[in-house]
């Protein structure tokens, strides 16, 4: 992965841009996209609870990397959306899925010594696409780019809040982060 | 539905655990360590840590496997001088006799960069929770979240 900050800041910037562009993306959906973008890194659970130990205890082989895949994102999308009010479920699901998929796309751009990205399309295929070879997880610059984009999005939302869209009521758009 | 998704998540973890090795194009470091000669000539994408830096090679450990990484002409990526002991390294190469891995490409992740990655990733988790908490509240009657 690029660091988690890059993932959630880019999700914030992208979802905020959609929020500013259309009424169909309310502000409350923006942090949901950030959660979606963070989800695949739930695999980092291995640092706290090694899958080998859990697997040995359960008597089955176990790998958390199955969640860092398109299949994992789909399960998280459906399961996650069920936790929200019915009226919000569709847009929540789209935000979770969009965030998760951008995470996988960004991770497939990482430099790999063999030039191949991992099997992120599991369980549909074990295909390893060519890696983007753009950055390392430990590089600092991707998070600086993401920070610049997120700051721009925040400024645009702040500006929009100071320019009421409805002159009759003077009601400002929702700009909570 | 939620229970089905939890079951599906558990199923992914078990299925991936049971089938990933068979679908991996490279051998596991532990397999190589157990019978090195059987893997001579095979390629690997090895993730390990730098155990020693030499003038024109690196010693890398990955689990039980300890191997000298050599740089034939044309090897791409980082050179031995770019690595420090303890740093994470990726090596793509071919196993040679006498426990040598002839590198085609070596990629070193600096320790400072990895520390930065862990710190800002923690910050990102807090930022995400904070942003989420401004718009959504946990609900008890129907376990989940409602608009704040």
**Mean pLDDT score of chain A:** 92
The answer to whether A51 contacts B17, with C-beta atoms less than 8 Å apart, is: yes
**A168 vs B145 pLDDT, higher one:** B145
The answer to whether B90 contacts A28, with C-beta atoms less than 8 Å apart, is: no
Over range A107-126, report the average pLDDT: 97
> How far apart, in whole angstroms, are the C-alpha atoms of residue B24 and residue B116?
30
> How far apart, in whole angstroms, are the C-alpha atoms of residue A147 and residue B124?
11
- pLDDT number for residue A4: 95
> How far apart, in whole angstroms, are the C-alpha atoms of residue A63 and residue A59?
13
- pLDDT number for residue A167: 60
- pLDDT number for residue A177: 57
The answer to whether B113 contacts A139, with C-beta atoms less than 8 Å apart, is: yes
- pLDDT number for residue A169: 60
DSSP state of B92: E
Over range A3-32, report the average pLDDT: 96
pTM: 0.93
- A69 neighbourhood in chain B, CB within 8 Å: 12, 16
Beta strands in chain B (DSSP E): 43-53, 57-62, 65-70, 76-77, 88-96, 100-109, 136-139, 144-147
- pLDDT number for residue B1: 82
Over range A13-33, report the average pLDDT: 96
Plot region of B63 (φ>0 → left; ψ -120 to 50 → alpha; else → beta): left
- pLDDT number for residue B2: 84
> How far apart, in whole angstroms, are the C-alpha atoms of residue B48 and residue B26?
14
Q: What ipTM score was computed for the predicted complex, to two decimals?
A: 0.92
pLDDT interval class at A100 (50, 70, 90):
very high
pLDDT interval class at A1 (50, 70, 90):
low
pLDDT > 70: what percent of chain A? Answer: 92
| Mutation for testing the B interface, residue in A138, A141, A153 having most B CBs under 10 Å | A138
CA–CA min distance A148, chain B (Å): 15
The residues near B7 (Cβ < 8 Å, ≥ 6 apart) are: none
CB B145 within 8 A of CB A84: yes
The answer to whether B135 contacts A176, with C-beta atoms less than 8 Å apart, is: yes
In terms of DSSP bridges, do strands B76-77 and B100-109 run parallel, antiparallel, or are they unpaired? parallel
CB A113 within 8 A of CB B92: yes
């Amino acid at each position: 992965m690029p660091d988690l900050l890059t993932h959630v800041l880019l999700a914030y910037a992208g979802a905020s841009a959609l929020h500013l562009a259309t009424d169909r993306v309310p502000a409350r959906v923006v942090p949901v996209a950030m959660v979606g973008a963070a989800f695949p890194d739930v695999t980092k659970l291995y640092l706290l609870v090694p899958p080998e130990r859990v697997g040995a205890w359960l008597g089955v082989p176990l790998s958390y990397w199955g969640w860092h895949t398109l299949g994992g994102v789909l399960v998280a999308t459906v399961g996650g959306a069920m936790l929200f009010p019915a009226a919000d479920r569709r847009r929540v699901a789209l935000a979770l899925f969009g965030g998760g998929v951008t995470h996988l796309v960004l991770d497939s751009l990482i430099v790999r010594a063999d030039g191949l990205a991992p099997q992120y399309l599991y369980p549909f295929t074990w295909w390893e696409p060519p890696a983007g070879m753009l950055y390392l997880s430990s590089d600092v610059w991707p998070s600086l780019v993401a920070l610049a984009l997120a700051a721009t999005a925040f400024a645009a939302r702040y500006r929009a809040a100071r320019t009421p869209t409805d002159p009759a009521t003077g009601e400002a758009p929702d700009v909570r982060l | 539905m939620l229970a089905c998704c939890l079951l599906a998540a558990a199923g992914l973890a078990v299925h991936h655990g049971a089938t990933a090795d068979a679908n991996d194009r490279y051998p596991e470091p532990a397999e190589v360590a157990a019978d090195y000669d059987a893997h001579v000539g095979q390629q690997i994408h090895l993730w390990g840590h730098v155990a020693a830096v030499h003038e024109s090679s690196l010693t890398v450990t990955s689990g039980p496997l300890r191997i000298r990484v050599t740089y034939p002409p044309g090897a791409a990526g980082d050179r031995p001088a770019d690595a420090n002991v303890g740093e994470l390294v990726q090596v793509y190469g071919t196993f040679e006799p006498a426990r040598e891995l002839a590198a085609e490409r070596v990629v070193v992740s600096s320790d400072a960069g990895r520390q930065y990655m862990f710190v800002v990733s923690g910050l990102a988790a807090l930022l995400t929770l904070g942003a989420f908490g401004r718009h959504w509240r946990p609900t008890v009657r129907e376990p989940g979240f409602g608009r704040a």
